[in-house]
């Protein structure tokens, strides 16, 4: 057995699926020392998750690879609902937009998980030295709780075992009609037994693969899927139920006379179950099929016998549901089968040192296209927080918000999935008296309402140290809403911009750069790099009132004891390494220049000169219309300051005169940089 000398890292990520890769992405952008391991020898190449919701695309765009997903994917624009008519024949009963128009600059698309993982890997590689180490899994984790509150300590030691190529390759079954091996997803399906222990045992016996290393870490993320080893080490459980519904999934190039095969369809047959049709890239179509006939659950709700489920049996079910239309295929790309379980982890973190994310803390049915999206959004929430703490910008108190924000979201997701699965899997009602059947009106309604939830745009974080939002007991005598942070009271005034909702991600409209007239979406200015933003919507600076408020604010921000200067490290850190100050105004663009604005919004650097990317204007562009951001966000003529978290969620909305509120907000959790002496302390 070889054992190399111990390594010290800020973060160990176990699992390089969507959740683990999103975490690695933040680590790469924020520059923290990270090790990411996965027990599999390769990434996924086909199958698995495919739906990307519009919020996920916004997030990808903030990391610089949204365009790759947007170009390569199939775009889903319409949902067709097919239901049985009075004679039991399926007919198209409705069409609804797939993404609610206007909620985002992106719409839902589909692209298989393998490509998405590729985009992550390429981007991580291009900006850091973080690489996924494959065929590596942890075999032991030890925690020293006495060191948990010490920022400089490495309280976790984790032993990593290297597997052989054979052990790291999931077994595939030869299942297609002509006997060729088709990639299937059963090794990750909840119908397959977990192979973690098997792999560990295999590695023990295999002398070649038996090398181990010890890593000391400040933080660990378990993004190791539904069978999470990390979760098991912590003794945490998933709570919830397994349901009776068994679903099969086929990725095929179909040959069919069904007219809506290139639309997303929900098809309810009279008595043969339901199919969801998802048109995919490369002419592929995914069918999610409820299996009703030959494949029965074991007694007492135990797992189904998956040997009875094959691509042929799944196809036969689809043929029965979609009759009288015919459907078959020449090419089968991937398939799987699963039983719906709806569970949420009891805890998402242990001592804010070991965290769990993704399928490790929530499992549910895949057909609402949520798992991968929500898993990535978990670590999109967590990554910048850990990076800010590791870099000494924030204290550890902000880490508590991970569980409060994401566990609530996971519970909402399970509730949504519960409702949606029942409506999708149930038999259509024959008439209004048929109480056991599902009303198709109710189904449509759930689809329309569910679309907002499913888009990821509706996610709203509650009052906390990071969201200055009225909590449960923070109404003052005069009716003002107050959020309490560590004894400091920060008052938001949401009425100054009713469409910028506290706790939600900021909506996006086009603005022009004051210096070069180039249009961009507001969100495009909010790159994911770990920085906080204070956006001042000043209005028209020809109005002397607004101009003077901006000047006062600019002077306060420029003062040596402002939060900007107290919490930003000295050079070589950049002036905007911790906070980016942006201004959006609606003075006619041609009547002003950046030099009409206080210097804090066009900082000067001895080497680089002026910064031209901090002042933006709400005005007509030459080629891309007028974003009308003031009107669309209903910003008061008084203007306002908005604090945006590094993940684009809104922390605070308040008056331009409210510099003190900004200072109080940041002072509640930020740490002044440590002064480095000659001795290096």
Shortest separation between residue 114's beta carbon and ligand FAD, angstroms: 11
- Does 50 participate in catalysis according to the annotation? yes
Is 38 or 611 the residue whose CB approaches ligand FAD more closely?
38
Is 40 or 162 the residue whose CB approaches ligand FAD more closely?
40
Is 198 or 244 the residue whose CB approaches ligand FAD more closely?
198
Torsional sign, CA 615, 617, 621, 624: positive
The catalytic position among 154, 245, 288, 329 is: 288
Strand 212-222 versus strand 7-14 pairing type: parallel
Angle between helices 371-390 and 54-63 (to 10 degrees): 40
Shortest separation between residue 130's beta carbon and ligand FAD, angstroms: 16
Is 248 or 428 the residue whose CB approaches ligand FAD more closely?
248
The catalytic position among 40, 161, 188, 280 is: 280
Shortest separation between residue 419's beta carbon and ligand FAD, angstroms: 18
Shortest separation between residue 294's beta carbon and ligand FAD, angstroms: 20
Strand ranges of the sheet holding 90-97, from the earlier edge strand across to the other edge: 90-97, 78-84, 264-268, 274-279, 285-290, 238-256, 327-345, 362-363
What phi, psi does 368 have (nearest 5°)? -85, 5
Shortest separation between residue 150's beta carbon and ligand FAD, angstroms: 27
- Does 288 participate in catalysis according to the annotation? yes
Shortest separation between residue 304's beta carbon and ligand FAD, angstroms: 15
Instruction: Single out the segment in contact with ligand FAD by CB under 6 A; choices: 33-41, 342-350, 547-555, 636-644.
Output: 33-41
Binding positions for ligand FAD, 331-370, rule CB under 6 A? 336, 338, 358-360, 366, 369-370
Three-state DSSP state, 134: strand
- Does 646 participate in catalysis according to the annotation? no
Q: List the x/- string, 401-440, binding to ligand FAD by CB under 6 A.
A: ----------------------------------------
**Cβ atoms 96, 108 nearer than 8 A:** no
H/E element holding 375?
Answer: helix 371-390
Contact status: 481 vs ligand FAD (CB under 6 A): no
Contact status: 636 vs ligand FAD (CB under 6 A): no
Of 9, 10, 12, 20, the residue at the interface with ligand FAD (CB under 6 A) is 20
The angle subtended at Cα 322 by Cα 319 and Cα 325, nearest 5°, is 90
Contact status: 224 vs ligand FAD (CB under 6 A): yes
Give pairs for 397-402: CB < 8 Å, separation 24+: 397/465, 397/486, 397/669, 398/465, 398/466, 398/669, 399/349, 399/352, 400/352, 400/464, 400/465, 401/461, 401/464, 401/465, 401/466, 402/348, 402/349, 402/352, 402/355
Any residues with CB less than 8 A from the CB of 362 and at least 6 apart, and which? 238, 343, 344, 345, 371, 374, 410, 413, 414
- Does 101 participate in catalysis according to the annotation? no
Of 36, 51, 587, 629, the residue at the interface with ligand FAD (CB under 6 A) is 51
Torsional sign, CA 318, 322, 328, 333: negative
CA-to-CA distance for 15 and 228, rounded, in angstroms? 9
**Cβ atoms 427, 408 nearer than 8 A:** no
Is 13 or 635 the residue whose CB approaches ligand FAD more closely?
13
Instruction: Single out the segment in contact with ligand FAD by CB under 6 A; choices: 3-11, 219-227, 298-306, 578-586.
Output: 219-227
Three-state DSSP state, 406: helix
In 3-state terms the chain splits into helix, strand, coil percentages (rounded to 5) of 30, 25, 40
Residue 6: how many CB atoms within 10 A of its CB?
12
Shortest separation between residue 371's beta carbon and ligand FAD, angstroms: 2
CA-to-CA distance for 48 and 27, rounded, in angstroms? 25
Residue 453: how many CB atoms within 10 A of its CB?
19
The catalytic position among 254, 279, 366, 598 is: 366
Instruction: Single out the segment in contact with ligand FAD by CB under 6 A; choices: 44-52, 444-452, 472-480, 578-586.
Output: 44-52
Binding positions for ligand FAD, 368-397, rule CB under 6 A? 369-373, 375
* C-alpha dihedral, 664 to 666 to 667 to 669, nearest 10°: 130
Please count the residues of this chain forming the interface with ligand FAD, following the rule CB under 6 A.
Answer: 38
Shortest separation between residue 141's beta carbon and ligand FAD, angstroms: 11
Is 10 or 417 the residue whose CB approaches ligand FAD more closely?
417
What phi, psi does 185 have (nearest 5°)? -105, 15
Shortest separation between residue 200's beta carbon and ligand FAD, angstroms: 8
The catalytic position among 10, 18, 40, 50 is: 50
The residue behind tokens 């078959």 is 328
Instruction: Single out the segment in contact with ligand FAD by CB under 6 A; choices: 224-232, 511-519, 557-565, 586-594.
Output: 224-232
CA nearest to 514, candidates 574, 580, 595: 595
Is 20 or 254 the residue whose CB approaches ligand FAD more closely?
20
Contact set with ligand FAD (CB under 6 A): 14-20, 37-40, 48-51, 137-138, 185, 188-189, 196, 223-225, 229, 249, 336, 338, 358-360, 366, 369-373, 375
User: Which residue numbers are catalytic?
Assistant: 50, 280, 288, 366
């Amino acid at each position: 057995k070889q054992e190399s000398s111990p390594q010290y890292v800020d973060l160990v990520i176990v699992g390089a699926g969507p959740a683990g890769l999103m975490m690695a992405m933040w680590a790469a952008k924020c520059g923290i020392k990270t090790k990411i391991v996965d027990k599999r020898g390769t990434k996924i190449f086909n199958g698995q998750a495919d739906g990307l919701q519009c919020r996920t695309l916004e997030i990808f765009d903030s990391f610089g690879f949204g365009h790759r997903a947007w170009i390569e994917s199939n775009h889903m624009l319409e949902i067709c609902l097919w239901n049985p008519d009075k004679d039991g024949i399926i007919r198209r009963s409705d069409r609804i937009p797939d993404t609610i128009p206007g909620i985002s600059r992106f719409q839902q698309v589909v692209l298989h998980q393998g490509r998405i993982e590729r985009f992550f890997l390429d981007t991580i590689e291009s900006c850091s030295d973080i690489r996924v180490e494959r065929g590596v899994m942890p075999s032991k984790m030890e925690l020293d709780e006495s060191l948990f509150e010490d920022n400089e300590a490495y309280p976790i030691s984790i032993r990593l075992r290297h597997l052989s190529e054979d052990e790291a390759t999931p077994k595939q079954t030869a299942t297609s009609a002509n006997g060729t091996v088709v990639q299937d997803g059963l090794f990750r399906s909840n119908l397959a037994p977990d192979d973690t222990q098997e792999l560990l045992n295999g590695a023990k016996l295999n002398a070649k693969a038996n090398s181990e290393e010890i890593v000391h870490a400040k933080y660990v993320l378990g993004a190791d899927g539904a069978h999470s080893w990390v979760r098991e080490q912590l003794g945490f459980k998933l709570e919830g139920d397994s349901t009776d519904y068994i679903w099969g999934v086929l990725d095929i190039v179909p040959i069919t006379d069904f007219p809506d095969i290139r639309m997303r369809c929900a098809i309810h047959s009279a008595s043969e179950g339901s199919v969801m049709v998802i048109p995919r890239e490369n002419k592929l179509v995914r069918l999610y099929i409820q299996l009703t006939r030959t494949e029965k659950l074991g007694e007492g709700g135990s797992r189904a016998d998956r040997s009875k489920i094959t691509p042929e049996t799944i196809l036969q079910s689809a043929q029965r549901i979609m009759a009288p239309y015919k459907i078959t295929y020449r090419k089968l790309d991937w398939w799987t089968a699963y039983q719906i379980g709806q569970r949420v982890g009891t805890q998402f973190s242990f001592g804010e040192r070991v965290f769990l994310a993704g399928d490790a803390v929530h499992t549910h049915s895949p057909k609402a296209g949520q798992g991968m999206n929500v898993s990535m959004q978990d670590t999109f929430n967590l990554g910048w927080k850990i990076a800010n703490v590791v870099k000494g910008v924030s204290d550890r108190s902000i880490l508590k918000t991970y569980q409060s924000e994401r566990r609530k979201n996971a519970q909402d997701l399970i509730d949504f999935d519960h409702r949606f699965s029942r409506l999708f899997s149930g038999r259509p009602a024959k008439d209004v008296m048929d109480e056991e059947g599902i009303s198709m009106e109710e189904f449509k309604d759930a689809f329309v309402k569910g679309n907002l939830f499913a888009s990821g745009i509706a996610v709203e974080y509650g009052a906390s140290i990071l969201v200055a939002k009225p909590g449960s007991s923070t109404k003052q005598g005069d009716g003002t809403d107050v959020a309490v942070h560590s004894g400091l009271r920060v008052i938001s005034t949401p009425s100054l911009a009713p469409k910028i909702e506290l706790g939600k991600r900021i909506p996006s409209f086009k603005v022009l750069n004051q210096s070069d007239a180039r249009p961009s979406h507001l969100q495009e200015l909010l790159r994911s790099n770990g920085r906080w933003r204070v956006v001042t919507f000043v209005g028209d600076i020809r109005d002397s009132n607004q101009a003077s408020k901006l000047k006062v604010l600019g002077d306060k921000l420029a003062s040596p004891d402002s939060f900007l200067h107290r919490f930003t490290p000295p050079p070589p850190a950049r002036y905007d390494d911790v906070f980016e100050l942006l201004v959006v105004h609606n003075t006619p663009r041609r009547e002003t220049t950046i030099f009409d604005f206080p210097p804090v919004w066009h900082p000067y650097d001895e080497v680089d000169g002026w910064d031209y990317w901090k002042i933006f204007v709400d005005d007509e562009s030459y080629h891309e219309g007028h974003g009308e951001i003031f009107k669309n966000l209903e910003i008061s003529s008084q203007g306002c300051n908005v604090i945006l978290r590094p993940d684009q969620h809104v922390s605070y909305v308040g008056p331009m005169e409210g510099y003190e509120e900004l200072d109080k907000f940041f002072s509640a959790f930020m740490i002044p940089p440590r002064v480095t002496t000659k001795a290096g302390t």
